[in-house]
């Protein structure tokens, strides 16, 4: 009987120690999850990459500032060239409209803002979750342009309708988008018309709230929204392959 | 009594072991997700670096362009004719960039229309043009299409593709103009890349499955018209400083 008691005692001790270890392990894992980002940066290569990215970001910020100054100077010259002449002034005033259409200069004006948040997303999820978001964001943007929006941005990235599927920032290939919820969408245009178009009964926001199950903020009217220029190429650089493949498939054309 | 104690401790031990095992397993799966997350953020950084590099190149290109434009103004004379010429040159460049000028070049012409001879055709099913055509346009732009038009309307920075009809009678509007099938999409750009993305996404197959013909013609030269609708600038103003 004493051996049995001993056995029970030792088993209990072992179990307690193991239990303690497990708890420790679990807590460490939890901690690691929380500090996932910081942890991954401790890796040398990661840090190097992060430094490079930060450096380039600074360089690009300066370049953007330089571009803005240049555009300011150009605008001043344009105005000066037009002078007091009515015909030249009318050309000059259109220049600004062309640039706004192309999205190549920063703009400001009245409009609306709305924020889309994921209703269920909990930080794990699959890639397809993101894709759905882009589709939803795209849908809202389409609606805003339909309602006459003159300039649109998402999370302060200027968006132009002809920049490709996920239309964010400089990367316009389909799989390289980098948007993270929440998405703040801003649009410059007639605030009442834009607000009305989004909030229409059975409209896009109703659909997103009720069918797609995502959180949508109230549409806010803004007196003055500022947006940066679209920094991707307005016209894509010509591809070397284009001429060749056209030649080889000439027979197909009708 | 001893026997009972033994059973009790055994129960506790087994329970603890069970708990440990399950915790260990869940902790493992959590940490394996962590590893995934670590790789992910490494990929993210790579991607971000690529993006920043790309943005850098584009910014330099734009700066170079702006400097040239500025030079044109700086070096142009002050006579009326000189000033007019400088402004017109400026306008021509901007119109091309904005999509107001027609573009001619190699490209694709895609024709989409219902085809009753296709097995997937069903007279009762309504084709949703907004839902189905939007990805086609987007994928073409994502492949660097320089200019795209739909039934003669140029797709520009403020364009939209919207169904304004009802469930039974869809009416597609491009830039506010109603259009009807056949839908003809003209896209100028890298024909190989554009053809590849259409094939990779199985557009022809998917359209055929819902009874829509999707014909792609590769053209050595086609013209996409310029944009002729409302210009922005009523609400949006340029920030010049």
Q: pLDDT tens digits for B158-180?
A: 999 999 888 888 999 999 999 99
Do B79 and B112 lie in one domain? The reply is: no
Instruction: Report which of residues B178 and A41 the model is more confident about.
Output: B178
**Domain of A211?**
106-227
The whole-angstrom distance between A203's CA and the closest CA on chain B is 12
CA angle B113, B117, B118 (to 5 degrees): 70
pLDDT digits (tens, 9 = 90+) for B101-156: 999 999 999 999 999 999 889 888 889 999 899 989 988 988 889 999 999 999 99
3-state SS class at A109 = strand
Note whether residue A1 is domain-resident: no
Tell which B residues from 157 to 176 touch A, by Cβ distance under 8 Å: 157-162, 173, 176
Do A139 and A223 lie in one domain? The reply is: yes
Chain B interface disruption, residue of A162, A167, A251, most B CBs within 10 A: A162
pLDDT digits (tens, 9 = 90+) for A199-237: 998 888 888 887 767 788 999 999 999 998 887 543 333
CB of B68 within 8 Å of any CB in chain A? no
CB of B148 within 8 Å of any CB in chain A? yes
Note whether residue B32 is domain-resident: no
Tell which B residues from 76 to 95 touch A, by Cβ distance under 8 Å: 76, 80, 83-84, 86-88, 90-91, 94-95
Tell which A residues from 183 to 242 touch B, by Cβ distance under 8 Å: 188-190, 226, 230-239, 241-242
Do B78 and B110 lie in one domain? The reply is: no
Note whether residue A5 is domain-resident: no
User: Which candidate from B67, B148, B239 shows the least CB-CB separation from A162?
Assistant: B148
Tell which B residues from 185 to 224 touch A, by Cβ distance under 8 Å: 189-193, 195, 217-220
Instruction: Report which of residues A173 and B85 the model is more confident about.
Output: B85
Q: Contact at 8 Å (CB) between A71 and B240? A: yes
- pLDDT recorded at residue A180: 67
Distance CA A137, CA A183 (A): 8
Note whether residue A188 is domain-resident: yes
The two structure tokens encoding residue B156:
């520009």
Do B88 and B165 lie in one domain? The reply is: no
ipTM for the predicted complex comes to 0.77
* CATH number where A139 lies: 3.30.70.1880
Note whether residue A246 is domain-resident: no
Do B68 and B110 lie in one domain? The reply is: no
- pLDDT recorded at residue A253: 32
Question: What percentage of residues in chain B have a pLDDT greater than 90?
Answer: 52
Chain B interface disruption, residue of A100, A226, A232, most B CBs within 10 A: A100
Do B146 and B199 lie in one domain? The reply is: yes
Note whether residue B213 is domain-resident: yes
Do A112 and A218 lie in one domain? The reply is: yes
The model's confidence at residue A245, banded by pLDDT at 50, 70 and 90, is very low
**Domain of B80?**
59-97
Do A117 and A57 lie in one domain? The reply is: no
Least confident range of A62-76, A168-182, B8-22, B154-168: A168-182
User: Which candidate from B34, B159, B236 shows the least CB-CB separation from A32?
Assistant: B34
Count CA atoms within 13 Å of residue B150 on its CB side.
27
- pLDDT recorded at residue A163: 74
Note whether residue A139 is domain-resident: yes
Note whether residue B159 is domain-resident: yes
Peptide bond into A71 cis (omega under 30): no
The two structure tokens encoding residue B60:
């330099």
Note whether residue A4 is domain-resident: no
Q: Contact at 8 Å (CB) between A112 and B107? A: no
- pLDDT recorded at residue A49: 86
The model's confidence at residue B54, banded by pLDDT at 50, 70 and 90, is confident
pLDDT digits (tens, 9 = 90+) for A116-132: 887 655 555 544 444 44
CB of A24 within 8 Å of any CB in chain B? no
- Give the number of domains in chain A: 2
Do B79 and B145 lie in one domain? The reply is: no
Do A66 and A110 lie in one domain? The reply is: no
- If one counts every other C-beta atom within 10 angstroms of the C-beta of residue A163, the result is 23
Note whether residue A124 is domain-resident: yes
- Give the number of domains in chain B: 2
Do B91 and B106 lie in one domain? The reply is: no
Whether pLDDT at A40 is above 80 = no
Instruction: Report which of residues A130 and A74 the model is more confident about.
Output: A74
Do B70 and B177 lie in one domain? The reply is: no
């Amino acid at each position: 009987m004493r051996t049995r008691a001993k056995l029970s005692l030792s088993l209990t001790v072992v179990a307690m120690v193991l239990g303690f270890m497990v708890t420790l392990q679990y807590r460490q894992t939890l901690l690691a999850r929380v500090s996932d980002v910081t942890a991954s940066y401790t890796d040398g290569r990661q840090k190097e990459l992060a430094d490079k990215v930060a450096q380039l970001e600074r360089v690009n910020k300066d370049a953007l500032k330089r571009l803005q100054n240049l555009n300011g100077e150009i605008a001043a010259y344009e105005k000066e060239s037009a002078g007091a002449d009515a015909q030249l002034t009318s050309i000059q005033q259109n220049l600004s409209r062309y640039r706004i259409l192309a999205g190549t200069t920063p703009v400001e004006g009245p409009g609306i803002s709305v924020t889309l948040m994921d209703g269920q997303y909990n930080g794990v999820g699959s890639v397809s979750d993101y894709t759905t978001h882009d589709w939803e964001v795209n849908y809202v943007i389409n609606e805003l342009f339909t309602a006459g929006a003159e300039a649109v941005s998402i999370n302060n990235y200027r968006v132009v309708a002809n920049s490709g599927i996920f239309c964010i920032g400089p990367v316009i290939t389909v799989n390289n988008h980098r948007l993270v919820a929440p998405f703040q969408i801003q649009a410059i245009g007639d605030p009442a018309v834009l607000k009305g178009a989004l909030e229409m009964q059975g409209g896009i926001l109703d659909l997103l709230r009720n069918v797609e199950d995502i959180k949508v903020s109230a549409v806010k009217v803004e007196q003055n929204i500022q947006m940066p220029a679209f920094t991707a190429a307005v016209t894509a650089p010509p591809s070397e392959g284009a001429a060749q493949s056209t030649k080889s498939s000439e027979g197909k054309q009708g | 009594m001893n026997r009972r104690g033994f059973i009790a401790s055994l129960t506790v031990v087994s329970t603890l072991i069970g708990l440990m095992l399950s915790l260990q397993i869940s902790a493992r799966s959590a940490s394996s997700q962590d590893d995934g997350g670590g790789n992910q953020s490494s990929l993210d950084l790579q991607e971000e670096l690529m993006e920043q590099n790309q943005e850098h190149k584009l910014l330099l290109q734009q700066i170079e362009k702006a400097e040239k434009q500025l030079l044109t103004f700086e070096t142009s004379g002050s006579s009326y004719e000189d000033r007019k010429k400088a402004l017109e040159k400026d306008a021509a460049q901007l119109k091309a960039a904005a999509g107001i000028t027609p573009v001619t070049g190699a490209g694709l012409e895609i024709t989409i229309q219902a085809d009753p001879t296709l097995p997937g055709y069903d007279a009762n099913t309504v084709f949703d043009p907004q839902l189905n055509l939007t990805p086609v346009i987007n994928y073409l732009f994502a492949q660097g299409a320089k200019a795209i038009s739909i039934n003669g309307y140029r797709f520009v920075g403020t364009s939209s593709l919207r169904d304004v009809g009802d469930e039974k009678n869809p009416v597609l509007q491009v830039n506010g103009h109603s259009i009807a099938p056949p839908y003809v999409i003209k896209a100028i750009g890298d024909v190989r890349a554009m053809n590849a993305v259409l094939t990779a996404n199985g557009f022809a197959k998917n359209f055929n499955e819902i009874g829509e013909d999707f014909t792609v013609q590769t053209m050595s030269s086609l013209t996409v018209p310029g944009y002729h609708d409302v210009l922005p600038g009523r609400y949006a103003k340029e920030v010049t400083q």
